[in-house]
Each structure stands twice: as C-alpha cells, then as structure tokens.
Amino acid sequence: MKTPPLLIGLALLLWGWMSGMLWIAVLLALLFEARWMTRAVLELSDTAITLFFDICLLIAAGAALSLFLSPDDPPVAKTLLVWLPLVFAPLALAQAYSQRARLPFSALARLPGMGKKSPHPDEADAFRPGFHFPSIYAGMVCIAAAGANREYAYFYPALAVLAALFLYANRPARVRPIPWAAILLLALGSGFIAQDGIQRAQQWARSYVQRMVHGPYQVRTAIGELGELKISRRILMRVALPETIDPPILLATAGYDFFDGSRWLATNSTFVPLEPVPGVDIYRLAPEVQTASPDNPQQNSMSLRVFQNLFRGKGLLALPLDTEEVSDVDADLVESNVLGSVLVDDAPGFIAYNATMRAGARRLGTPLPTDTLVPPPHRAVLEELVGSLGLRELDPADAARKVRDYFHGNFTYSVVLTRERPDLGPLEEFLTVSRSGHCEYFATAAVLLLRQAGIPARYALGYAVWEPGDADARMFLVRESHAHSWPRFWANGRWMDMDPTPPLWYPQETEPLSSLQWLWDWRADVSFAFMRWRHTAQNSAARGWLVAGAVVLAVFLAARLARRGGLRRRREAVKAKREQTMFFGADSPFYELIANDERRTPRASGEPMLSWLARSGAKHLIPMARLHYRYRFDPRRDDDSVKRELERHKAD
C-alpha cells in the first residue's frame, strides 16, 4: 500500500474540523505534506523505530491518566480514539521522512519469533514481516474524525473523497480507470444510502426509547399491552442506608400529574436552576422545614448515600419524598420542578451523592388543579368503587390506607398481561375482572381513585430499594427490574407516599432470568468497586499520589528512552552493520540507489523489478538492475569486478 500526496493532510484537516483542533491539524498536515517537497531523509534504524513507538505509548499513557484523573470525567475510550492522530504522529512522521518503505514488527515488540534485527534498514525489510505505517495512520485519522463527528451532513462525502484518493493510488495496474470509477461510485452510493438508513433508524430508536422510558416530562405505561413484561436484572445503582432507615424505601426520579389513557404527562414540568450553598456542594430543595425536636425523632434529619451512573453526565436523581437537601452532586447544573424531579447536567459519569431527609420537607409545593383531574372514560367505574369503599367519609390519610389495603387484599401482582374482556378498557378490566397486573396498573388506579374521592394525587416513578448486597448489609442493590411506580397524595398539609402494589412483587422481580446472573452481578460489583475508587481518587489526596507516581514513571521511561538513543548518526556503526550481510548480494549499491524511488512509488508485492522501474519513471536504471541481478545470482560472476561496475554506475 502507498499513501498518495495530500491524503494524510486532507484527512487531518477533516479530523481537526470535526474535533475542534483545527490548528493542530493544520500543523500536522503541513509536516506530513512537506515530505513530498524535500529530499531530506532519516536514517531510521530498528532502535529508532522502537524509540518512536515508545514515545507514542508514553503519550497514550499520559493522555489516559490525564483523562482518568480529570474532574470532568470525560469518556476515556472515546476521547483517546479522537486523540489517535496526536498519539501516533511521531511514528508516522518518522517513517514518512525515512528511506524505509516498511516497519518490521520486530522493531515494535521484541517478542520471540518476530525475526532477527536487520543489519541495514533497506537490506532485509523485504524478508521480514512488517507494515507501511503512514497508510495505517491515514486510517486512524479517519476513524478519529468519525469518533468526533457531530452528525455533519458533509462528513460522509469528505470521507468518500479520501477513500477514493487512497483506492485510486492503490488500484491494480490492469484495471481501467472508467470501470474502476463506476464500481467505486456504486459502492460509495450504496454506503451513503446504508449510513443514512442507519442514522434514521438510530433517530427513530432514540425517539422511541424517549417515549417508552421514564423522563421528567412524560412516561408511556404498559397498560393495555399483552404478553409477559420482562425487565432486565441489571444493577443500575446502589444505596447505602443508615441504621435508622429500614427497607423497603421508595426513591422517586420523576412525578406526573396528567393521565391521557396510556401516558402520564408532567404538565407543570418547568425546571428552575438551583444555587448551591455558598462554599459547599449542597443544594437545598425544601427551604421551609419543620423544626426538628429531640422528643420527636421522626423530625430529625437522616441521610442516605446513592451511587448512580449518568448517561453523558446528565440524568435524574433518585430521591426520597422528604428530601431536604442533596450534597456532593459534583454537577455544574442542578434543576428541579414542583413535581419533585431533580435534574443534573454537566456531571461526571459516576456520582455519589447524599440525600438528607427530614419529616415535613415541602419540596413538592401545594396541589395544582391538574392533581384532581380524572379522565371521563374512567369516572363511572371509579365512582362505584369510591362509594363501596366509603372513601369520601374518611380523611385523606385514612382513605389512602383504605385504598392500599383494598389492593393488597383483593388483587395480585403479575407481569403476564392478558385480556379477558376486550369490550372493557384495560383499567376497567383490571379493577373489575382480572384484578391482576403490575405496578403501573396499581399506581394509576390508586391515583385516579384518590382523585375521584376528591384527594389531590400524583403518579410517581422511581425505584424500590430493598435488596441487600452481599458484602455490606447496609448497601442495597437497585436493579432495572426494581423500577416502580406509586401514588403520592396530599394529606395533613404535605405530600405522602403510598404503595398499593402487593409486596409479593419484590422477590418476583429479583429472580434471575439467566443462570449466568451471578456472572453479570460479579461484573457489576467489580465495575462499581473501580468506579467508587476512582471517584474517591478524584476527590481526595489519592489524586496527588497518583499524579506523583505518574511523574516518577514518566521520568523513568524518559531516562530509558534517552539511553536507547537511535537517532544519532553513527556512521562507523552503520558501515560495520552493512558489512554483516544476511544474504549474498545484500551489499549491492543498487539498493541505495532505488531507495528514494521506492519511497515515492512503493513496489507492489510480487511486481518484477524491471516492471516497477518502468512504472516509477526510472527506466534509466534498468541496465544497472540487470547488472545487480548478475551480481546476486550469476554463479560465474567475478564479484569484485561486478561490484566495481555497480559502484561506477552509481557514481554516474
């Protein structure tokens, strides 16, 4: 393979534009393309190759450590992918300005069986396994540009131009340009259609997920859907509970106030930025809190700690109802709304925050007009049930307990969804016929039932915390299958939680779906231990020790690289190595004469020497090539006389 002029330069400019490092890309592009305008070359020995490769590894290690310790918690793997052109630029530039057409693998890794060291760079590379790194580097640059692509429409056409330039330079000599161009256009057109289809599918999937999963604005329920509702047992977060709090405990991520028959909507979802307490990372969610009393421990504050992963540094916090404040969020933006949702943005991918609770914390505000709305199609069946339970004669707290006990005693929990009466609505069938369903049925029915009785109520979505971890009795696991919904109702001047779902759902949603569940849990435990340690390292003195250790390691590696050398021109050593030939004729002056031509026009694998000389514009060297073959293979040759004649041709 060969890299034609402008290929690497254009690829670097595309990468710089995509990644926001345009000036660095321009500088690298000028360095790479200047090689076509100069005859200056490096005497790149195997030791020098090893040196440049070690420099690249040192740059990669430093970049990874910097990202690892960054308080912004960037995605390490993706960022390193985008930085590939910077990491491997030294090695690519070294070969681009050298006489060597290929880099041997043995120069990169001193492994057994990788081959012996070459006495001279040009003498034995053809007989050693190796590769042309600038071509690989061009591919790295394109991959890095793709990793930094922000869905610009011109990215694919630009990438197609680069691919066409590379393929044209490396097309087989027997292929005519017009058929080759037609096939290339067909392939690129098919690729464009395919990537456009994939992009549209991704957009559709993203919008579908946003409609189906819970968020701060709306959530689509599974009410009315048929089949078995299967939820992953993947561990999403962990919660450390104090001794004063016994599970189960409900942690809400969002609240909703309007039901349209299949979705719960948050019509009052305007988020308001919160300001932290000056000097500390504490956000107060409930400014007005009842005064704590030593005689009433229920009014004293309690704190739990939540360990949670965020997608791209953004997400909803899982909080108890009576949360007064949150601390150690480590986010640039914290917002909340009157329905109880707390949204964080520009945060690390892994956060560990404290939620401080106090009885009477009024962070959800007072009831809104939408908190008493009941869809007309459901009023008849709900009114009949309100009358039979006598809910209007009870105060709100007793009415909520009555509803909870009614569902616990007369209904069953099931994730298998069936329809026996298609003539009835799903909610009506649940209340009057099947009396079986999952938490979305129970929560929706309870909210509407309380509203029908004149009690303001809302639909809360979040997680139930009750499964203890293996290592720590107070560290509880929250799985995806622990996602839960329940009603919140207004009573005695405050919002309260009530869970109408029969408690038998807890063990059902923890039973392993696979015999390998223990393996996935072990993997999650290892990942959590690492992320927790990393979070501690980023926010403690351990970070200083890591930086100090990295500096010591960098100094040690730099000293080793300096001792290796490899770029100093040791003329006597090079001359001595050239005299140690690996095969007869390896000291032919012909190799030195064609080195520049081979660098500019690489010889294809299996291509005859004379054909390559004609293709590369060096036909005047054909007589010397025949003399070179005579020097190497003619058993009747006079070695000294033939070599002298080769030297004379070289001098001419």
Specify whether 136 is located in the same domain as 222: no
What is the per-residue pLDDT for 404? 94
Specify whether 139 is located in the same domain as 268: no
Specify whether 144 is located in the same domain as 220: no
Specify whether 327 is located in the same domain as 456: yes
Low-confidence ranges of the chain (pLDDT < 70): 1, 39-41, 69-75, 109-128, 150-152, 202-231, 287-300, 471, 506-514, 534-551, 553-554, 556-586, 635-640, 642, 646, 649-652
What is the per-residue pLDDT for 206? 54
Beta bridge pairs of residue 251: 463
What is the per-residue pLDDT for 113? 44
Specify whether 510 is located in the same domain as 626: no
Residues 515 and 550: their CA atoms lie apart, in Å, by 42
Residue 335: its H or E element? strand 333-336
Overall number of domains in the chain: 3
For 643, the domain range is 583-649
What is the per-residue pLDDT for 573? 46
Residues 27 and 13: their CA atoms lie apart, in Å, by 10
Is 312 a member of any domain? Answer: yes
Is 542 a member of any domain? Answer: no
What is the per-residue pLDDT for 70? 65
Is 532 a member of any domain? Answer: no
Find, among 409, 406, 412, 444, the residue nearest to 425 by Cα.
444
Is 102 a member of any domain? Answer: yes
Specify whether 323 is located in the same domain as 383: yes
Specify whether 384 is located in the same domain as 266: yes
Specify whether 266 is located in the same domain as 404: yes
Specify whether 236 is located in the same domain as 152: no
- Give 452-462 pLDDT, tens digit per residue: 999 999 999 99
- Give 153-201 pLDDT, tens digit per residue: 778 888 888 888 888 777 777 777 788 788 878 887 887 788 777 777 7
The two structure tokens encoding residue 527: 């990942």
Is 523 a member of any domain? Answer: no
Specify whether 155 is located in the same domain as 239: no
The two structure tokens encoding residue 163: 């691919």
Residues 233 and 509: their CA atoms lie apart, in Å, by 8
What is the per-residue pLDDT for 292? 40
What is the per-residue pLDDT for 503? 83
Is 407 a member of any domain? Answer: yes
Q: Note whether 421 and 433 are within 8 A (CB).
A: yes
Specify whether 303 is located in the same domain as 434: yes
The two structure tokens encoding residue 586: 């390896």
What is the per-residue pLDDT for 406? 95
Query: Could you give phi then psi for residue 88, rounded to 5 degrees?
Result: -105, 10
Is 150 a member of any domain? Answer: yes
What is the per-residue pLDDT for 383? 93
Specify whether 343 is located in the same domain as 486: yes
Is 525 a member of any domain? Answer: no
What is the per-residue pLDDT for 576? 47
pTM above 0.85, yes or no: no
The two structure tokens encoding residue 210: 């946003």
Among 494, 514, 534, give the residue marking a domain's end: 514
